[in-house]
Structure 1
């Protein structure tokens, strides 16, 4: 009888141990991975950064609006809102043609509509030499250095490999018409020496076609011109 009980106990213990062994170990709760829904929800709930803008139209009318971003030069059109874009439901975004605008004022910057010989250039740009008698406007276009072809099932795609900014400049000497700044040495020197005439030392370097006073140096020349007038105050 004792042997029977002992055998039964051993069987019971073995069954209990087998049941414990069969139970899955307590696994650590996996880290939750963000889903596309989470990303969309975060984007939807993210605060919208915007700034007020005041347009003076060609007609003379002033129009107030809001932009979520801007450059100090703008081509063709401006995307803006009539109401703050953080409202619910969000207001529709509006497209305003540059040809309708005379000036655009945003965060202390005034962008002028440029025209040459009475013809609009389809561009808003800030005068980068406000302290001097001449006005200098600049803009850049980002261009790819080269493209590499990537074969596809049908045809191929061109992928840009690196990029650079190509700068363009307009200048309006005091009392004169606006002109595109030429890239060639002599023409550049003649025009910009006149534009920088109220800073004789800089004008002389430009006229002499100094190595550091050519077309490629325009950003530095503009900075030097402005620094000269700032120091004179």
Structure 2
């Protein structure tokens, strides 16, 4: 086709324009997300949450919504009064554990631990719900060693390495809750009583068997729980 042909001239000019646009698009830098994009994404992000039922020490029951939980909680529970995926997002509130008797969330029931009628400021799940003795355990991660970092005019200590330090509480049937002592004799005396409804395990603890000390508490609790588990 001759480029002098009117129709051909239009096709030729059109081809040049298409090529120019394609080249410009290929050279255009990728779009950078703006603050408005970030705000829009945050508003549209799916929030995972769990309905929670609280029984307060007053006996009142209230409902809340938490975006996370642990089987041991300390001092307070951060929650929402309404589902947090609503717009505008509801404000987060803190519920002091001293006001709580129990918290049920995602199939778990956490009890507020008390000692001599006073709150310990802890919520924990009973690890032996089908046995006579209630058992509660938790751990705190502690640093093993610190490295000093000089920052004029002071020195900052940076933790390196860590370990988990376990704490246990037991409440024998009809008894008071007690913290499990770490020393051999005191541990054996308390836990032999706590495991009294499982005589074989209680005897091993009382005799201070090598596998029945404080360091073995996770395994002892599992064995105690399994002994009372309903047959399948």
TM range (shorter): 0.7 to 0.9
CA offset digits 1:95-132 (Å, max 9, x no partner): 11111111111111111111111111111111111111
In 2 relative to 1, CA 147–44 (structure 1 residues): closer, same or farther, beyond 3 Å? farther
In 2 relative to 1, CA 153–107 (structure 1 residues): closer, same or farther, beyond 3 Å? same
Which stretches in structure 1 are left out of the alignment for 5+ residues? 1-25
Q: Which moved more, 1:104-113 or 1:145-154?
A: 145-154
Task: Tell me, in whole angstroms, the C-alpha distance in 2 between the residues paired with 1:131 and 1:65.
Answer: 27
Which stretches in structure 2 are left out of the alignment for 5+ residues? 1-22
1:169 aligns with 168
In 2 relative to 1, CA 224–35 (structure 1 residues): closer, same or farther, beyond 3 Å? farther
- 1:151 equivalenced with 2:172 (yes/no): no
Q: Which moved more, 1:117-126 or 1:38-47?
A: 38-47
Superposition pairs for residues 17-36 of structure 1, below 5 Å?
A: none
CA offset digits 1:62-110 (Å, max 9, x no partner): 0000001111111111100001111111000001111111111111111
TM-score, length basis structure 2? 0.81
Shift of 1:213: 1.0
- Aligned residue for 2:173, secondary structure, equals coil
The RMSD of aligned alpha carbons is 2.3
For these two proteins, the number of residue pairs brought into alignment is 208
- 1:98 equivalenced with 2:133 (yes/no): no
1:17 aligns with none
Task: Tell me, in whole angstroms, the C-alpha distance in 2 between the residues paired with 1:39 and 1:208.
Answer: 63
Rg bigger for which structure? 1
Shift of 1:41: 6.0
Shift of 1:171: 0.6
CA offset digits 1:19-39 (Å, max 9, x no partner): xxxxxxx89869859769577
- 1:187 equivalenced with 2:222 (yes/no): no
1:87 aligns with 86
Task: Tell me, in whole angstroms, the C-alpha distance in 1 between the residues paired with 2:28 and 2:180.
Answer: 63
